[in-house]
Structure 1
Amino acid sequence: MRLRMRQLEALMAVAETGSMTRAAEDLGISQPAVSRLLSDLSTQIGFQLFQRRDGVLTPTQEARFLLPDIQRVLERLDHIGELSRNLTERKAGHLKVACLPGFATSHLPDVLSAFLEERPGVTVTIEPDRPERIMEWMLNEQYDLGITDGFEGHPAVQSETIDLRTVCIFPEGHRFADMKVVRATDLVEEKIIHTRRDSPFYRAFQEAIQSRGVAINSLVEIRQFTAACELVSRGLGVSVISELDAEGYRNRGVRFRPFEPRIPHRLAIVRPTHKDPSLVMMEFMDMFRESLARYRL
């Protein structure tokens, strides 16, 4: 026995109104159509649904027993319908984003705040970690999206590389404040705070300044650009980092200038190849790309 939703709606409408005519008006169908729905339903389930008392249709005891469950079914179907509309309109869903630690506390919160403001049905999981771990999550399809750097490609991972401008950051009162551009040769004898020696960005930085006859006077080796900002703000040295991260430390004891030669920070937006992105994820990716536009090299 397969009951139809319209039959259940007709049963609830007549039970609530006590009238075939009023039920038909509420459902937007004719009174004979309501009568047929209830007649077919009564035949299917094998007992009478209503009895007339003083001109009002009242549910039989058997029908009353069914009504609470039918109400829950209809409410659940309404919920599913609303959820489906929200998914179609990108107003519902869940995003799982893995990112570099610096992004979790600097740029990403602003982007998410703007994105979620008009999407109250969307929830998000953010997991910051090192690039190697993000890559592992993408291969295992544990996250929908990854924001990383140093990505060298993998057939199971789709990627988009965005080259961001880099700048030289220095503490308040530093001589670089009088310059419009900091050049590699200006770093002679400066104490350098830099990324890990095995990172692609460090290798690009090293090659750029060594080609101009400058050796790296290494002071601190760090993993995150935000850590470099913290150390520079305390006057420990200078660093070359992404302008995006430097912007977050403006007026916080850190100043910056364009750096030459230009060294891109290659940011990668990655996702599992065999896991189709949801509509809301695609919309978030578009917003995230747009948020980087002002920092593109």
Structure 2
Amino acid sequence: MNLSFRQLQTFVEVMRAGSVSEAGRALGRTQPAVSAMIAGLEREVGFPLFERERGRLVAKPEAYYFREEAEFLLERLTRSTRTLRDIGNLEKGKLRIACNPAASSVFMPRVLARFLRDKPDVEASLMMRSSPVVTDWIASQQYDIGFAETPAPRQTINSEIFALPGVCALPKDDPLVTREVITPADLDGKPLAMLFEDHAISLQTRRAFDEAGARLNKRFELRTFLPALQLVSEGLCYTICEGLSAVSHQESFGEASSLVFRPFKPDCHLKMSLLTPANRPLSMLVESFAETLRGEVRTLLEKSAGLNQP
């Protein structure tokens, strides 16, 4: 049986109107066209739905039974069409996003809020984990898109890389705030808050101090830069962090912040990546969000480059 939407629509209208001519007027079709559509429907179902009496169609009991089912099918088709239109307009769907701690506190929620502001029927899952876990989630297709520290190349992941510059965080009343750039010589022997030994920023910081012949005084070892910035704000140390954490802090605290940021030389960078599964196509919704995220990351890079110039 191969029933069409138009056949069902015509049948229901004939049942509602009580005549072929009235149904034709309601549907904007000629009377012969309506009659032909009903005849075709009867051929498909395999039995007559109407008696023909003196040029009129008189509904049989089977037609009344079938009407309820036809109206249900039409409603489902209409609802499905509406849903497909909403999906095509990026007004329905679900986003599954994973990001590392640095992006989860301020940056990613703001990107998501801007993207979803005019999409009330889109659902979102935003989960924070360490960068290796985010990478595994994307590789296993548990999440649609990720933002994390750049992993080693994997065939199961597409990775778009962005290099976030390193900056030095200082207490607002520190004498070094008058410097345009902070160097290892400026921090010689001064207490630092640093991440774990094999973190990219920690490795580059140690190399910079070694090459400058400056003493590196690691007072605090931490897992993320968020507590490091708090320790700096308490006047206990300095830290060299990536621009994402610095910009997120500034946007959170504004003028109330007790920190300032200065470029750190020699240059150090943290490579962050927009991650997507390589073995399946992205939905239109995810592609649109990815484009929004790219734009926000570029804006972040611009903000990082101009952090608190004296």
TM-score (norm 2): 0.86
Q: In 1, distance between residues paired with 2:192 and 2:279? A: 42
Residue 276 of structure 1 pairs with residue 291 of structure 2: no
2:298 counterpart residue number: 293
**Offset of 1:51 from its aligned partner?**
6.9
Matched position secondary structure for 1:248: helix
**Offset of 1:196 from its aligned partner?**
1.5
- Conserved 8 A contact 1:168-1:257: yes
Q: In 2, distance between residues paired with 1:21 and 1:236? A: 88
2:133 counterpart residue number: 133
1:103 counterpart residue number: 103
Residue 38 of structure 1 pairs with residue 38 of structure 2: yes
Cα distance change of structure 1 residues 195 and 48 upon mapping to structure 2, 3 Å threshold: same
Q: In 1, distance between residues paired with 2:210 and 2:230? A: 26
1:185 counterpart residue number: 185
Matched position secondary structure for 1:211: helix
2:24 counterpart residue number: 24
**Pairwise mapping of residues 174-213 of structure 1 onto structure 2 (< 5 A)?**
174-213=174-213
Moved more, 108-117 or 37-46: 37-46
Q: How big is each residue's C-alpha offset from its partner over 1:68-100, in whole Å with a ceiling of 9 and x where there is no partner?
A: 332222222122222222332333222211110
**Pairwise mapping of residues 1-297 of structure 1 onto structure 2 (< 5 A)?**
1-50=1-50, 59-250=59-250, 251=254, 252-296=257-301
Matched position secondary structure for 2:136: helix
Matched position secondary structure for 2:185: helix
**Offset of 1:171 from its aligned partner?**
2.3
**Offset of 1:222 from its aligned partner?**
1.8
Matched position secondary structure for 1:184: coil
Q: In 2, distance between residues paired with 1:231 and 1:60? A: 83
Matched position secondary structure for 1:185: coil
Q: In 2, distance between residues paired with 1:78 and 1:230? A: 55
Q: In 2, distance between residues paired with 1:285 and 1:202? A: 29
Q: How big is each residue's C-alpha offset from its partner over 1:116-162, in whole Å with a ceiling of 9 and x where there is no partner?
A: 11223322111211122122212222111121114121122111110
- Conserved 8 A contact 1:18-1:56: no
Cα distance change of structure 1 residues 175 and 27 upon mapping to structure 2, 3 Å threshold: farther
TM-score (norm 1): 0.89
**Offset of 1:103 from its aligned partner?**
1.3
- Conserved 8 A contact 2:201-2:241: no
Q: In 2, distance between residues paired with 1:248 and 1:230? A: 13
Q: In 1, distance between residues paired with 2:24 and 2:258? A: 71
Structure 1: state its 5+ residue gaps. Answer: none
- Conserved 8 A contact 1:15-1:58: no
Q: How big is each residue's C-alpha offset from its partner over 1:224-274, in whole Å with a ceiling of 9 and x where there is no partner?
A: 222322332233311111223212222332221122122112111112211
Cα distance change of structure 1 residues 46 and 101 upon mapping to structure 2, 3 Å threshold: same
2:308 counterpart residue number: none
Q: Which amino acid aligns with 1:4?
A: S
Q: Which runs of 4+ in 1 moved over 4 A?
A: 50-53, 55-60
- Conserved 8 A contact 2:49-2:59: yes
- Conserved 8 A contact 1:193-1:218: yes
CA RMSD in angstroms comes to 2.4
**Offset of 1:57 from its aligned partner?**
7.1
How many residue pairs get aligned? The number is 296
- Conserved 8 A contact 1:150-1:199: no
Cα distance change of structure 1 residues 113 and 217 upon mapping to structure 2, 3 Å threshold: same
